[in-house]
Each structure stands twice: as C-alpha cells, then as structure tokens.
Structure 1
Amino acid sequence: MKRTSFDETQLLVTIPKEEDGENNQNQRQQLKKIMRQIICNDLSERQKQICYLYYYKRQTIPQIASLLDVNKSSVSRTLARGLHNVNERIKYYKLR
C-alpha cells in the first residue's frame, strides 16, 4: 500500500499543486497551517499519537498496535476517526 503524507491523505479538501502559481502556494501554506492547528487543538492525545506514528514515523497499523499494546482494529478505528475529525473541521474553516 502506497503511503501519502498526512496533509494529503483521505482529505475532502483539494490541496492546490505547488506548480499552479503563487496564489495556490499561499493557499497550500494556509491549509497546512489550519491543519496543524486542527491536529494540535482538536484531536485526542491518542489520535495525535497514532497519526504521528503512522504518517510521520511511517509505522504500519500492526506495528503501532504492538507498540501501544492494543488491537489492530483499535488503531485503524482511531486513525479513521482522527482523519474524520480533521475533515470535519477543515469544512468549518472553508465556510468562513
């Protein structure tokens, strides 16, 4: 399974490509800033931990489950809920 970076995966928001000009580069930077705020302020500690291990440390779900001594399904659910929370909050920012 191919991994993508956290700020591009399973998000309902389209992140502009870097080569699309300066305006889109500003939009990308703004979106990344919003996502950092959401992750820091709105995810549970466990969601942050699992997202960090999965997207930044590139660990697999079974590896994370073993490390945290939980079931693989718990890791998968927590990861999915974290991404859902990010998506929902990004929608809020997009409406402003």
Structure 2
Amino acid sequence: MKQTCHYFYVLECSDGSFYAGYTVDINQRLKKHNDGKGAKYTRGRTPVRLLYSEEFETKSEALKMEISFKKLSRKAKEQYINGHPDHEKG
C-alpha cells in the first residue's frame, strides 16, 4: 500500500503576504489557489507562488507545523523559510 505524504507549505501572495497550509498534493493545491478555488484568503491575492514546503509522515505533524508557523511574526516566518536546511524554493 502506498503511503501518503503530508505537506506543510507556504505561499507568497501577489500582495507580498504569506499563506500557510496543509496538503497531500502540492502541485494540485498550488493550481487550485491560482485558479481561485483554494483558500478564501488567497482568492483575491493571486497569483501565488510556492515559497516553501516540508514533508511529514503524518497529517498531525504537518498540521502542527502549520499552526506553529502561523503564530510566528513576519520576521520569524522569513527566517524559518530562509534558514531551514531542507526547504524547497518555488
């Protein structure tokens, strides 16, 4: 049985703001955001681009990372994205 990967991801919106989320398919989720069918927050802020993604073994771990990230200041979010050794730049 194929194991599902769980991702925490960060987008940069057209207004420069960040959006953090969870998905099992980053490419499909990014397309939904840019098609205006993603989160309400990103609908008026397209196009969005993927800044960061991180893979987790469980949904719970990915969601916990999303919640933790959302509590950070803008500066701390930037430091996390730029300083994390295994991040993927979009």
After TM superposition, is the score higher than 0.5?
no
Structure (1/2) with the larger helix percentage: 1
Between Structure 1 and Structure 2, the one with more strand by share is: 2
Return the TM-score normalized by structure 1.
Answer: 0.27
Higher Cα radius of gyration = 1
